């Protein structure tokens, strides 16, 4: 109450020096709480705070059940791994085991060609001495050419196995990987969003759901009032309006408030209204007044929403 007495003294002094209007007005504290809810619907599996608790920025508030989302994340992860494996397979060509099979076939083809080449050379000499027929010699030459062609085919096949997949197939595989990664990222984001954290530090004003209840998308579960979201509302008559300007500093007094508390005026209404019922008195209930809003400059956390306050005009800064 000493703070109120000091504020009253300042008000009296200012009134004596002013134009006869009052420099002390009644008001109250108002808060703009943050309503925190989930981005998706679900059953509330854990509530980490309760009304009246103070939370720091980033503190866990609540968790929604995540079984379905977790399964979707695991499926997306499996699809991403499969798509990546297909791309890797196209980029590196055949596996060593597959190449080893072709190598064995090449060795067999080389052996057949060597035999065919010897038969061809032998019959070539025999034809020259008229011992072997030309027909047999032509057959040997054909066998040699077939063996050489088969060997060349196997060698080309081995070279192709060492090459990556076709450009169009590789590009399609890359797109599949990108799509799978996007699905995985989306699923991981949805999973993270099942846990909701405090966007700012403040006091928990209310809790609207309890564990086991189903929360729909966008519905608030917790309301938090940060200190900076408190403001002082007071009402001044037209005679005093000229002295209360935006940016002016006012003194604020209340029961159990710290001494020397000040607030800066951020809004002055341009329209008159009847004195609100919350501050009715015999003297003011029929008067037209103008609403003024002021933001506390310090110790805002000590002010409670709905708390009545006395406001006195201070020096403008």
Identify the segments of the chain with pLDDT beneath 70.
1-22, 92-95, 161-166, 277-286, 315-317
Instruction: Compute the residue count for the chain.
Output: 317
Q: Which pLDDT score is estimated for 222?
A: 96
Are 238 and 305 within one domain?
yes
Are 154 and 176 within one domain?
yes
Give the angle 28-31-36 at the CA atoms, nearest 5°.
Answer: 165
Q: What is the C-alpha end-to-end distance of the chain, expressed in Å?
A: 27
Are 179 and 213 within one domain?
no
Domain count, the chain: 3
Distance CA 263, CA 300 (A): 9
Are 200 and 253 within one domain?
no
Domain range for residue 211? 36-66+191-224
CATH number of the domain at 148, please. 1.20.120
Contact (Cβ atoms closer than 8 angstroms) between residue 86 and residue 176: yes
Distance CA 67, CA 243 (A): 61
Are 77 and 180 within one domain?
yes
Nearest Cα residue to 235 out of 188, 285, 290 = 290
Distance CA 114, CA 112 (A): 5
Angle subtended by helix axes 96-128 and 134-161, to nearest 10: 160
- Alpha helices, DSSP H only, in the chain? 2-17, 67-92, 96-128, 134-161, 167-192, 238-241
């Amino acid at each position: 109450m000493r703070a109120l007495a000091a504020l009253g003294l300042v008000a009296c002094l200012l009134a004596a020096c002013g134009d006869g209007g009052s420099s002390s007005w009644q008001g109250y504290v108002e808060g703009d709480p943050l309503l925190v809810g989930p981005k998706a619907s679900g059953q509330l599996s854990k509530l980490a705070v309760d009304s009246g608790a103070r939370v720091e920025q980033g503190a866990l508030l609540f968790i929604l059940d995540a079984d379905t989302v977790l399964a979707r994340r695991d499926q997306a992860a499996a699809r991403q791994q499969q798509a990546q494996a297909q791309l890797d397979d196209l980029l590196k060509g055949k596996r060593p085991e597959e190449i080893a099979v072709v190598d064995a076939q090449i060795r067999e083809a080389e052996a057949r060609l060597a035999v065919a080449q010897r038969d061809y050379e032998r019959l070539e000499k025999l034809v020259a001495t008229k011992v072997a027929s030309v027909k047999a010699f032509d057959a040997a030459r054909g066998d040699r050419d077939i063996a050489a062609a088969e060997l060349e085919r196997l060698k080309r096949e081995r070279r192709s196995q060492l090459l990556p997949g076709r450009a169009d197939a590789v590009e399609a595989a890359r797109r599949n990987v990108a799509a799978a990664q996007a699905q995985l990222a989306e699923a991981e984001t949805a999973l993270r969003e099942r846990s909701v954290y405090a966007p700012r530090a403040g006091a928990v004003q209310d809790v609207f759901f309890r564990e086991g209840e189903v929360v729909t998308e966008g519905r608030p579960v917790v309301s938090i009032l940060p200190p900076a979201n408190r403001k002082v509302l007071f009402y001044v008559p037209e005679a005093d309006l000229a002295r209360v300007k935006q940016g002016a500093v006012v003194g604020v007094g209340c029961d159990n408030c710290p001494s020397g508390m000040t607030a800066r005026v951020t809004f002055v209404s341009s329209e008159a209204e009847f004195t609100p019922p919350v501050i009715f008195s015999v003297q003011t209930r029929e008067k037209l007044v103008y609403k003024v809003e002021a933001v506390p400059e310090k110790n805002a956390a000590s002010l409670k929403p709905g708390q009545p306050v006395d406001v006195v005009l201070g020096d403008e800064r």
